[in-house]
């Protein structure tokens, strides 16, 4: 009886806290443009990571006549590299600020995609793609540092919302790359488009950082 009596208020408080958390998110989080901006940023990094992992075997096979087994192994290596560095991206974001890290990452990704779209060498192209996947991994870790700073009281709900946007990006990238290949007859158009989107993401980070005056000495306004 004592255990039941003691646990009842706790459960009630937990349910109340959950309701308040969801209410805060629905009332403020979804209405906050910052949320959709983070969804866009994560859609580029995680969407790019997942989408490129899905499309890379096709690209390597069709563009460079790499056997499907070898293409799968090379893709797995890229995916492993991007996954391993994700915690490092979060660590660096904690040290120097996620926004500051993302600003450079997106511009680097854009430059690497532009270079990848202009290369004919298998070795150089694969090296560029490996670097792109590493940058995606860094970005994936850095973005959730920003999410945790902005939405401290609803971090779980906000993370789920942003994560869903990343999954959507992972669906759109292979579809877009395939459609552009059919339209233009070359894989370069897909990389150029990814470079454009990444460049826009980088510019948006620079504008966002300036507009809300984010520095490593100032915290992100939170909800």
Burial 151-169 (b: 16+ CB within 10 A, else e): beebbebbbebbbebbeeb
Q: Residue 216 above 80 pLDDT? A: no
* Domains of the chain, first to last: 32-211 (1.20.1250.20)
Residue 172 to residue 176: CA distance in whole angstroms: 6
Q: What is the pLDDT of residue 214?
A: 42
**pLDDT number for residue 28:** 63
Percent of the chain at pLDDT exceeding 90: 67
Q: Residue 135: pLDDT above 50?
A: yes
Instruction: State yes or no: pLDDT of 177 exceeds 90.
Output: yes
**pLDDT exceeding 70 applies to what percent of the chain?**
81
- 214 vs 48, which has greater pLDDT? 48
Judged against a pLDDT cut of 90, whether residue 49 lies above it is answered with yes
The model's pLDDT over 92-123, given as tens digits with 9 standing for 90+, comes to: 999 988 998 999 999 999 999 999 999 889 99
Rounded average pLDDT over 164-168:
94
The model carries a pTM of 0.83
Beta carbons of 97 and 149 less than 8 angstroms apart: no
């Amino acid at each position: 009886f004592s255990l039941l009596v003691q646990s009842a208020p706790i459960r009630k408080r937990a349910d109340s806290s959950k309701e308040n958390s969801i209410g805060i998110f629905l009332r403020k989080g979804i209405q906050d443009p910052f949320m959709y901006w983070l969804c866009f940023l994560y859609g580029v990094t995680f969407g790019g990571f997942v989408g490129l992992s899905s499309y890379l075997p096709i690209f390597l096979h069709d563009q460079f006549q790499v056997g499907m087994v070898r293409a799968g192994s090379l893709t797995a290596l890229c995916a492993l590299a991007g996954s391993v560095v994700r915690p490092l991206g979060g660590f660096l974001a904690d040290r120097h600020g996620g926004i500051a890290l993302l600003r450079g990452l997106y511009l680097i990704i854009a430059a690497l995609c532009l270079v990848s779209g202009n290369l004919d060498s298998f070795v150089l192209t694969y090296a560029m793609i490996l670097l792109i996947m590493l940058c995606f991994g860094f970005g994936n870790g850095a973005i959730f540092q920003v999410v945790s700073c902005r939405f401290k009281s609803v971090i779980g709900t906000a993370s789920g919302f942003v994560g869903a946007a990343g999954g959507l990006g992972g669906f759109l990238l292979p579809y877009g790359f395939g459609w552009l290949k059919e339209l233009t007859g070359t894989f370069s158009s897909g990389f150029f488009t990814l470079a454009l989107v990444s460049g826009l993401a980088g510019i948006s980070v620079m504008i966002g950082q300036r507009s809300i005056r984010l520095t490593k000495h100032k915290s992100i306004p939170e909800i």
